[in-house]
Every structure is written in C-alpha cells, then in structure tokens.
Amino acid sequence: MCCTDAGLNFLDVVDFYVNFVLLLVDFFKTFAAGWIYGIEEKLVTLGPKIYFSYLGANFVSVIVASGLWFGVPDNTAR
C-alpha cells in the first residue's frame, strides 16, 4: 500500500491518528497519575505557592511556545 502513488497520503493519515490517540492516552495517564498519587494532598503538603509555580513553569511555557510557533507568520522568500 505504501509503494503506490498514494502511499504518502496513507502514511500521513496513519501518522496523524496515531499521534492523536497517543496524546489522548497520555492525557488520561497523567490524569490517572494525579489521582493515584493524590494531587490534593500534594497541594496541602507543599503549599499553593510551590504547587502553582511548578504548574505554571510547565504549562505556561508550553502555551507560550505553541503561541510563538503557530502565531509567527512564515517569512520564507518565494
């Protein structure tokens, strides 16, 4: 199937759906890990300042990087 002219399209479709499913599965694994290890207990133990600074350092950096990646226009000369 990948040896035909449409092989790259098949590969692209499979790659997209595999990546999407893996992201979804990883989200659920992260949610489960927070539930099993008691994220509310960590908030009480460590304090909100440390807890929210850790969350901000991880998630805000990803959001800013995504905004820069998708927000900057393509300036390639044609």
pLDDT tens-digit profile of 15-24?
888 888 888 8
What is the reported pLDDT for 65? 85
Amino acid at 65: A
Helix, strand and coil content of the chain, in percent to the nearest 5, comes to 80, 0, 20
pLDDT tens-digit map of 26-60:
888 988 887 888 878 878 888 888 888 888 888 88
Element (H, E) at 13: helix 7-36
Domain boundaries, the chain: 1-37, 38-73
Residues sharing a CB contact under 8 Å with residue 40, sequence separation 6 or more, in sequence order: none
Report pTM: 0.44
